[in-house]
Structure 1
Amino acid sequence: MGRIVALDYGKKRTGIAITDELQLIASGLTTVPTHELFSFLKDYTKTENVTGFVIGEPKQMDNTPSESEALIQPVIKRLTKLFPQIPIERQDERFTSKLAVRSMIEGGVKKKKRRNKALVDEISATLILQAYLNRIE
């Protein structure tokens, strides 16, 4: 099969999560400064068999696109251009940041570490990817 890479895109940082080769388990990989995202993905896809990208889809409560969607569309276009053979899927990302913090609390992560926004972004990407995997089962 190959790995699926999920992105929780943000202006400053992008959280990245991956599946195992069998696409059963979503795991956090890292968080990268957004200006380094494409360089990171080029390097990553050289060493790993990536068969899909999942990008968080920010929506309002009424299901309309949120303001950040305008920032994500150019990223999708660039990904399509750089990796034309790798399909891109979208996954609703509402509440992933709140769920990420809640999972950190429930996991016993200390308050100081919960303030680490990069860790929250990585966990959010993992939640986006797990939701995607659950949806396609």
Structure 2
Amino acid sequence: EHLTDEFRAINRFPKVPCIVAGGDFHLAESVAIIQFLAREYPEVPDHWYPRDSRTRARIDEYMAWQQHNTRSLCAAYFMYVWLRPRMLGTQVRPERAEQIKDEMERCLDFIEREYLGRGSKFIVGDEISVADLLAACEIEQPSE
């Protein structure tokens, strides 16, 4: 579906997610969408993406880190051991799967140590935020 001309008219990157706002504004990429929606809908409870500059900066820091770390590593593992064999019929090489899994687990250990191991309940502080939603997506994906 995302490779159709209709979808390309909405999202020039032919990827999910994307949104259409106000009928004529198209936006792709999860982090950009989250930040846009937080600005557009200030009535959303503040804990999701706080207006406090320093707290928001910590959430932004996690979202940037997540895109280059947990997102890429967890997606690589999921694609290699689950998606590609089912979609393309490829064989999983156990040694390669183990290598990808080790990299992913090191990254998840970092989250536990550096984000959750410092006495806070959530990724950034004691209230749930969009950072936790992104973290949960990545942590759960490999278990599918």
Smaller-chain TM-score range? under 0.3
- Structure of higher RCO (CA pairs closer than 8 Å, 6+ residues apart): 1
**Greater C-alpha radius of gyration:** 2
So what's the TM-score if we normalise by structure 2? 0.26
Q: Which has a greater percent of strand?
A: 1
Instruction: Tell me the TM-score normalised to structure 1 length.
Output: 0.27
